[in-house]
Amino acid sequence: MTPATDDDWFEIAVRVRYAETDGMGFLHHANHAVYLELARTEYFRSRGGDYRAMEESGRFLVVVSLQTKYLKPARYDDLVRVRVRVARLSAAKLEHEYELLRGDERLATARTVLACIDGDGVVQPMPGYVRQPRAADD
Amino acid sequence: MTPATDDDWFEIAVRVRYAETDGMGFLHHANHAVYLELARTEYFRSRGGDYRAMEESGRFLVVVSLQTKYLKPARYDDLVRVRVRVARLSAAKLEHEYELLRGDERLATARTVLACIDGDGVVQPMPGYVRQPRAADD
Amino acid sequence: MTPATDDDWFEIAVRVRYAETDGMGFLHHANHAVYLELARTEYFRSRGGDYRAMEESGRFLVVVSLQTKYLKPARYDDLVRVRVRVARLSAAKLEHEYELLRGDERLATARTVLACIDGDGVVQPMPGYVRQPRAADD
Amino acid sequence: MTPATDDDWFEIAVRVRYAETDGMGFLHHANHAVYLELARTEYFRSRGGDYRAMEESGRFLVVVSLQTKYLKPARYDDLVRVRVRVARLSAAKLEHEYELLRGDERLATARTVLACIDGDGVVQPMPGYVRQPRAADD
């Protein structure tokens, strides 16, 4: 596996909403998972995927594991850069890593593992259109 | 229609979550609608209803109108009393009114109108088990 | 007061997040208040306002009343147009009206009234920079 | 360090709200962090702590790391048991572990690390009243 470079990252910008802040005036830590999901979805869209259509065809991507390290708080109205890339892809699992930044300052890093299930919750092989450009590496 | 009395109210207590507060340290105003829904659901349950089972049978109650007046802010960790009663019930619509209180202090008042739809979004008559004890008044 | 025209509207687009949908697959109705707030904030920014700076200077805009009519559900991944305009502005209160649309289809209409308070919750005159172009009409 | 037993767990029950579910009808995975926080707060209260008073005195507990493994989905109206215990406590950090259960079925496990900061975001020693009964073990 070649070391990842800056070119691997896909990035979106998300402005922190008032409703997402907490009594400290910070982005509440539960919302980071929502931001990761937004980045993942747009990343998928940018590669020709359509997650809504995927669900309508009876395949769902579910988060089976999430890790987040919070380095600095994001505040109301901050424009947060959320970067995502595929860290690992196998027949059954899709692992992403993420960085949240404000300008060049890193606010958080995260990692998720997704599995694919059908409408009955049974694990399915990852659809071909998810397993794209970057080759599976395990 | 007999004037409503204190006995008409059904009440739950909801503790304000940290994640629900905003940068002012107040319960964010969008969350009041969630509290109203909680009170409505528990009210329905207290009268023998089961909203999950209702949905599984293909009938959904949807909010078609919401009005809220915010009088005083609720704060993190406040135990908010949410009172609900049926204000009006017809074949097609169910109207509730609400009060949010902290002790005896009124924090907000609200009113919602619900309609019943099927899985295709077509409006249905309000199911018999919704139209209970209190008689329809229009 | 001259009748409002299409030119009065300020508009943003908000994509419905997965986390904002509910078991029906619809944008949960509590989230509309968040969308209204986003539109209001961007509208304020477009006119040179900076709500974060305003709060840092000790003035807060709080919602004292909210009315929403839900016409059609928004769904996951829909790009919702949120239009806002000032309906009424006095020394003490700022009233907005809103429309949520998907393409040309109206999903919801809403109205909010805001007041200005200081850090102790005491009502203050609406700051000059809020009371802009459009003249006060009551 | 003595091996943990069932007696170490503090437990609360949280009913899954409609607003917390997503298009799959499951508790959206971002909300687990909110449930963990609720359990942590009530655990703290059960030992005589008062997190709101702690904040008012200028000390804040912030999440610096979160790990969640999602085993099975929780659904709307499920009464989820959230168990928490202290896994590790040092002068600077407080680590909790969690289990989410529906009846005896494990839905998720999680782990958080908290630090204590002052109003300027500077890390502070964990207050004495946080470092309670159970002795520090590192």
Query: Which of B16, B28, B31 to probe by mutation at the A interface, max A CB count within 10 Å?
Result: B28
Q: Which amino acid is at B65?
A: S
- State whether residue C114 sits within 8 Å of chain B by CB: no
Residues of C in contact with B23 (CB under 8 A): 55
Instruction: Identify all chain A residues contacting C37, using CB atoms and an 8 Å cutoff.
Output: 17-19
Provide the shortest C-alpha distance from residue A49 to chain D (in Å): 18
Give residue-wise pLDDT tens across range C26-54.
Answer: 999 999 999 999 999 999 999 888 888 88
Give the pLDDT score at B132: 61
D134 pLDDT band (50/70/90 cuts)?
Answer: very low
Please report the pLDDT score of residue D2 as a whole number.
52
pLDDT band at D133 (very low <50, low <70, confident <90, very high): low
3-class secondary-structure state, position C118 = coil
Residue range D74-97: mean pLDDT, rounded: 95
By CA distance, what is B29's nearest residue in A?
Answer: A19
Look at A70 and D66 and tell me if their CB atoms are within 8 Å: yes
* Predicted complex ipTM: 0.89
Q: Is the pLDDT of residue D137 over 50?
A: no
Asked whether the beta carbons of residue C77 and residue A51 sit closer than 8 angstroms, the reply is yes
Q: How far is C10 from chain A (nearest CA, A)?
A: 18
Q: What is the pLDDT of residue D56?
A: 87
How far is residue C74's CA from residue C32's CA, in Å, rounded to a whole number? 10
How much of chain C, in percent, has pLDDT values that exceed 90?
69
Residue D59 to residue D127: CA distance in whole angstroms: 8
Residue B137 lies in a domain: no
pLDDT at C84 over 70: yes
Half-sphere exposure at residue D72, Cβ-oriented, CA atoms within 13 angstroms: 14
Contact partners, residue C30, CB within 8 Å, separation at least 6? B30, B31, B33, B34, B37, D19
Residue D58 in domain? yes
Q: What is the pLDDT of residue A126?
A: 87
User: Chain C partners of B68 at a C-beta cutoff of 8 Å?
Assistant: 65-67
Q: Tell me the longest C-alpha to C-alpha distance in chain C.
A: 44
- How many Cβ pairs closer than 8 A exist between chain A and C? 28
In this model, does residue A19 exceed pLDDT 60?
yes
Residue C94 lies in a domain: yes
Single-letter residue type at B54:
M
Q: Is C32 contained in some domain?
A: yes
More confident residue, C15 or C3: C15
Residue of D nearest to B39 (CA): D17
Cα separations (Å) of D8 from C26, D83, D96, D97, D134?
41, 9, 11, 11, 10
Sign of the four-CA dihedral A13, A17, A20, A23: positive
Q: How many angstroms away from the CA of D19 is the closest CA of chain B?
A: 7
pLDDT at D119 over 90: no
**pLDDT band at C137; cut points 50, 70, 90:** very low
Average pLDDT over residues A106-125: 94
pLDDT tens readout for residues A54-112: 888 899 999 999 999 999 999 999 999 999 999 999 888 999 999 999 999 999 999 99
Q: pTM of the full predicted structure? A: 0.92
Identity of the residue in C19, C38, C76 whose CB atom sits nearest the CB atom of A52 = C76
Tell me the pLDDT of chain B (138 aa) as tens digits: 455 566 789 999 999 999 999 988 899 999 999 999 999 999 999 988 888 888 888 999 999 999 999 999 999 999 999 999 999 999 889 999 999 999 999 999 999 999 999 988 899 998 877 766 544 444
Our CA-based measurement puts residue C5 at a distance from the nearest CA of chain B, in whole angstroms, of: 25
- Mean pLDDT taken over chain C: 90
Q: HSE, CB side, 13 Å, CA atoms: give it for residue C63.
A: 29
Whether the pLDDT of residue C2 is over 60: the answer is no
Classify residue A137: in a domain, yes or no: no
Nearest residue of B to residue A76, measured between CA atoms = B23
Residue D41 has pLDDT above 70, yes or no: yes
Q: Chain A: list its partners (3+ Cβ pairs within 8 Å).
A: B, C, D
* pLDDT, mean over chain D: 90
Residue D67 has pLDDT above 60, yes or no: yes
High-pLDDT (> 70) share of chain C, %: 89
Does the residue D4 lie in any domain?
no
Residue C66's CATH number: 3.10.129.10
Chain C residues with CB under 8 Å of B31 CB are 30
Is the Cβ of C138 closer than 8 Å to some Cβ of chain B?
A: no
Domain that holds residue C44: 10-131
User: In the predicted model, is pLDDT for residue D82 greater than 80?
Assistant: yes
- Which residue among C24, C70, C121 places its CB closest to the CB of B64? C70
C17 touching A (Cβ < 8 Å): yes
**pLDDT score for A110:** 98
Predicted confidence band of residue A1 (pLDDT cuts 50, 70, 90): very low
C19 contacts in A (CB within 8 Å)?
Answer: 33-34, 37
Is it the case that residue C1 has pLDDT exceeding 50?
no
Does some domain include residue D5?
no
Which residue is closest to C25 within chain D, CA to CA? D23
Res C132: pLDDT: 61
pLDDT band at A137 (very low <50, low <70, confident <90, very high): very low
For residue A136, being part of any structural domain is answered with no
Beta bridge mates, C85: C97
Is there a contact between B37 and D51 if contact means CB atoms under 8 Å apart?
Answer: no
- Residue burial A80-101, b: 16+ Cβ < 10 Å; e: rest: bbbbbbbbbbeeebbbbbbbbb
A19-33, B48-62, C15-29 — which is least confidently predicted? B48-62
Total domains in the fold of chain D: 1
- Residues 28 through 87 of chain B touching chain D, CB cutoff 8 Å: 33-34, 37-38, 41, 51-52, 55, 75-77
